[in-house]
Amino acid sequence: MALDQLKASLSAAPGPIGGKGLRGRIRAPGDKSISHRALIFGALATGITEIEGLLEGADVLATAEAMRAFGATVEQLGGGRWRVTGRGGLSEPAQVIDCGNAGTGVRLIMGAAAGYAIAATFTGDASLRGRPMMRVLGPLGQMGAAWICREGGRLPLTLKGGGLAAIRYVLPVPSAQVKSAVLLAGLNAAGVTEVIEPEPTRDHTERMLRAFGAEVVVEDAADGRHIRLAGGQRLSGAAIRVPGDPSSAAFPLVAALITPGSEVTVEGVLLNPLRTGLFETLREMGADLVIENARDEGGEPVGDVTARHSALHGVEVPPERAPSMIDEYPILAVAAAFAEGRTAMRGLAEMRVKESDRLALMAAGLAACGVGVEEEPDALTVVGSVRGNHPVRGGARVTTHGDHRIAMAHLVLGLAAVEAVSVDEPGMIATSFPGFEGLMRGLGAQVG
């Protein structure tokens, strides 16, 4: 569905989602993280990269257009199938690179571009222009890249690459985006680039580097995970099948868990162990979640996940789990609202520098819907409604600041609330989940 169509249909009436007894089998959109990487790696490689199941959301489409600007031939073949013909590197773009709302896209592209003796100017929408880039620019600068930008390392910025030297870099905070940017720059740096992450983060970049023919060494040590990549390696085109995004699958699955009479199966979900923190947490809360047909596709584990309506209870979510589910805390907070007892989520400082301050927006949205919530600088505690004599009221129009996950989380909350919930900017859902409305309708939800 086109962005303007989605926006019009979801904003037409105050009650976006309602209905009982969700049932059906669906496939989640392609994983956004892997989709970005498939396009970027295809552009860096020599030869043809065939991609199946690419997420065709606004963020990924911005990355596809950026790769065209850097000299790759990028073709949309239909049905999630794309072809990228790379020329073994990036050429200097003639225009400004507009990454839209894609934080992953811009940070990874900057890392890749830093390895070439070119200048490129990056910008994005209002949300992306407000997000900090110094955590990527810092290590790229240590490698030899230069830039000029707004105060605080914010877009728009112009990056000048080339002549890089490898570094040994310890991630100050867990971030797959920063790790990936440094490794991509390291492909064209003199020497061996080493990234040390005290807490493991999603490893799609390491897996995809190998799929494109690069040698990456990963070792676990007492001080964390060490990833080493020798510069000067050349990538070759590959065949990539993008699995279903667990962050997107989380919305219909949690909707089933909190809506009486529901049973929903999402097929082909990515089950990378560094991305399944939400499923682990939901099971600890008592969720009836079953994984079947586990298999390997394109170097990544996938499976079919079934969720049935469940009696949930509150839990303490350990902070060390945050890197494996940082994008799923908004929908976890919704599940917690319908649980018995308190659910405490800690180690969430990274949520404040996502597409929005997700901690603040979730706290405000839940409170507006009648849910007990306590916000701390890096934590969120949700008081579940079960046996609390205060059913989730809903009925609010939630401010999202253009954040797609905040929007979807509150719309799912409206399924099981007493009153319907609406959001102020539903069109941003197409950033990561095009077709969200139609998919939910197909399961039995009412979209008004």
Q: Is 327 a catalytic residue?
A: yes
Residue 6, pLDDT score = 30
The last residue of one of the domains, among 183, 214, 241, is 241
The 10 Å Cβ neighbour count of residue 396 is 22
Q: Please tell me the predicted confidence (pLDDT) of residue 184.
A: 98
* Residues 196, 235 share a domain: yes
Whether 170 and 311 map to the same domain: the answer is no
Q: H helices within 90-197, ranges in order?
A: 103-113, 126-129, 134-143, 176-186
* 254-289: pLDDT as tens digits: 999 999 999 999 999 999 999 999 999 999 999 999
- Residue 376's contacts (CB-CB under 8 Å, 6 or more residues apart) are none
Give yes or no: residues 297 and 392 share one domain.
Answer: yes
Q: To the nearest 10°, the Cα dihedral for 175, 176, 178, 181? A: 180
Do residue 73 and residue 219 come from a single domain?
A: yes
- Is 424 in the same domain as 373? yes
258 and 361 housed in the same domain: yes
Sign of the alpha-carbon dihedral angle for 361, 275, 302, 235: positive
At 160-186, the pLDDT tens digits run 999 999 999 999 988 999 999 999 999
285, 186: one domain: no
Nearest C-alpha neighbor of 305 from the set 293, 321, 318: 293
Q: Which residues, at least 6 apart from 71, have a Cβ–Cβ distance to it below 8 Å?
A: 43, 87, 89, 90, 91, 93
Give the chain's end-to-end CA distance (angstroms, integer).
16
pLDDT tens per residue, range 224-250: 999 999 999 999 999 999 999 999 999
Domain count for the chain: 2
Partners of 339 in the β-ladder:
none
Residues 223 and 124 in one domain: yes
For 400-438, the pLDDT digits (tens) are 998 999 999 999 999 999 999 999 988 889 888 888 989
Percent of the chain at pLDDT above 90?
Answer: 82
| Catalytic one of 59, 98, 304, 327 | 327
The residue from 216, 241, 266 where one domain ends is 241
From 241, 259, 292, give the residue that closes a domain: 241
Same domain, 373 and 263: yes
Please tell me the chain's helix, strand, coil percentages from 3-state DSSP, rounded to the nearest 5.
35, 30, 35
Q: Which pairs with CB-CB distance under 8 Å and at least 24 residues apart come from 106-110?
A: 106/133, 106/155, 107/133, 107/136, 107/177, 107/178, 107/180, 107/181, 108/36, 108/37, 108/40, 108/177, 108/180, 108/181, 108/184, 109/40, 109/63, 109/66, 109/70, 110/136, 110/137, 110/140, 110/159, 110/181
- Torsional sign, CA 216, 221, 225, 230: negative
H/E element, 26: strand 23-27
Residue 297: predicted pLDDT: 81
Q: Specify whether 345 is located in the same domain as 426.
A: yes
Give me the CATH number covering residue 334: 3.65.10.10
- Answer yes or no: do 213 and 158 share one domain: yes
Distance CA 215, CA 221 (A): 19
Residue among 197, 200, 199, 217 at smallest CA distance from 209: 217
Q: What is the pLDDT of residue 161?
A: 98
Residues of the domain holding 45: 32-241
Low-confidence ranges of the chain (pLDDT < 50): 1-19
Q: What is the pTM of this model?
A: 0.85
**206 and 133 in a common domain:** yes
